Amino acid sequence: MVLADVQRASVKKFNQNRIIAKSVSPSKMLAQPHFLAMPAVEMEVNRDKFERLNFNGIKQVSTDPVSTFSVDVDTGAYAVVRQYLNRGQLPPSDAIRIEELINYFDYQYPQPSSDGAPFSVQTSLQKTPWSENTHLVKIGLQGYQAEQQRKAANLVFLIDVSGSMGAANKLPLLKNAFKLLTKQLDEHDSVSMVVYAGSSGVVLEPTKGNDKVKILSALDNLNSGGSTHGSAGIKLAYQLAQQSFIKDGINRVILATDGDFNVGTVSQNALLDLIEQNKKKSISLTTLGFGHGNYNDALMEQLADHGDGNYAYIDQLSEARKVLVEQIAGTLNT
């Protein structure tokens, strides 16, 4: 028989554990114990960061009759929760933002007839399942659908190629996601590409959207390596966006990263100020998150909010197709 005495392990490796092996013979049940070292086992350390959620209390409408809320649509939490469940893990409670789970789906609300009425309102009343003496009011908004013939787009792909992006669900998935987006572009569009790791650089100067071979080649040549220094990359991306600015068009930086976004030598407030300043110049920011383990969900959503853009989490290629192909008008026009 073998008796296992498992000592308290460190987070990274069980290199301090021991097994006491006792040999058994017909004449002797107990022999001198031998200590066998357990093989080192790597344990995945989850350092994902989520903003702490504070639950809203119940308000009396008689004393507080007005409620305000933002109508920007983020759906990142749904895909984040899904990737946790697909790995057989329960997501952290702060990762579950109910409004993003609800907003992920299309409820087929009636469309507004014109942009003169930018949204339609649907309401319903039902009994509260957990309180028979109260009711729930459901209010659904359907925004006016942007024309399929979207405006010309000036896009800057800002791509994290740091060492942490090497996993299959990070840079390889990111490349395929941007290839899907590239296929939606035409000669009226412009694409630039900036990468950042220990330093930042331009890997694709402004290029017409119909020059797909050149754009796809730039994506294929991306490799991961180095530390993360995001602030330098985002400054360069905004410079390129300004250089190719399309008046009355879509001007947007699309940041794609695993969320380990080191702001470098500047403070986070200075970074947010930079994003706000460019928003006033009609250059917006979309953030796309990839991977897990060191993912900064809170920062990704915050950057998109300050950049007047949207935030999505890409956990699989079908999600990339949903965000960057099926919903491209909404993604770029948000």
Q: Where are the domains of the chain?
A: 1-43, 109-145, 153-333
Q: 56 or 278, which is more confident? A: 278
- Give me the half-sphere count of Cα atoms (radius 13 Å) on the Cβ side of residue 182: 24
Q: Is the pLDDT of residue 316 over 50?
A: yes
Return the DSSP state at 67. -
pLDDT, one tens digit per residue, over 138-190 is: 888 887 776 656 789 999 999 999 888 888 899 999 999 999 999 999 999 99
Q: How far is CA 50 from the centre of its chain?
A: 11
Tokens standing for 82? Answer: 């899904």
Maximum separation of any 2 CA atoms in the chain, in Å? 94
> Cα(314)–Cα(110) distance, rounded to whole angstroms?
28
> Cα(129)–Cα(122) distance, rounded to whole angstroms?
21
- Give me the half-sphere count of Cα atoms (radius 13 Å) on the Cβ side of residue 316: 10
> Cα(94)–Cα(102) distance, rounded to whole angstroms?
16
Tokens standing for 224? Answer: 């991961």
| Long-range Cβ pairs for the range 323-329 (8 Å, 24+) | 323/75, 323/288, 324/177, 324/178, 324/180, 324/181, 324/184, 325/180, 325/181, 325/183, 325/184, 328/150, 328/181, 328/184, 329/145, 329/146, 329/147, 329/148, 329/150
Q: Which residues contact 228 (CB under 8 A, 6 or more apart)?
A: 160, 162, 164, 196, 197, 257, 260, 261, 262
Report CA Rg, the chain.
25
Q: According to the CATH classification, is domain 153-333 in 3.40.50.410?
A: yes
pLDDT, one tens digit per residue, over 45-103 is: 567 767 777 777 778 888 888 877 766 677 888 888 998 898 898 988 888 888 889 88
Q: Which of 23-32, 166-175, 299-308 has the lowest mean pLDDT?
A: 23-32
Q: Is the pLDDT of residue 27 over 70?
A: no
Nearest partner of 257 among 171, 172, 320, judged by Cα: 171
Give the pLDDT of residue 216.
97
Tokens standing for 277? Answer: 């300043």
Helix, strand, coil % (nearest 5) of the chain? 30, 25, 45
Q: 241, 203 in Cβ contact below 8 A?
A: no
- In the three-class reduction of DSSP (H, G, I as helix; E, B as strand; rest coil), residue 184 is classed as coil
* Dihedral-angle region of residue 118 (phi above 0 means left; psi in -120 to 50 means alpha; beta otherwise): alpha
Average pLDDT value over all residues in the chain: 81
pLDDT class of 242 with cuts at 50, 70, 90: very high
Length of the chain in terms of residues written: 334
Q: Is the pLDDT of residue 33 over 70?
A: no
Q: Is the pLDDT of residue 199 over 50?
A: yes
- Give me the half-sphere count of Cα atoms (radius 13 Å) on the Cβ side of residue 117: 9
Give the pLDDT of residue 16.
40
Q: Is the pLDDT of residue 44 over 60?
A: no
Tokens standing for 108? Answer: 């087929």
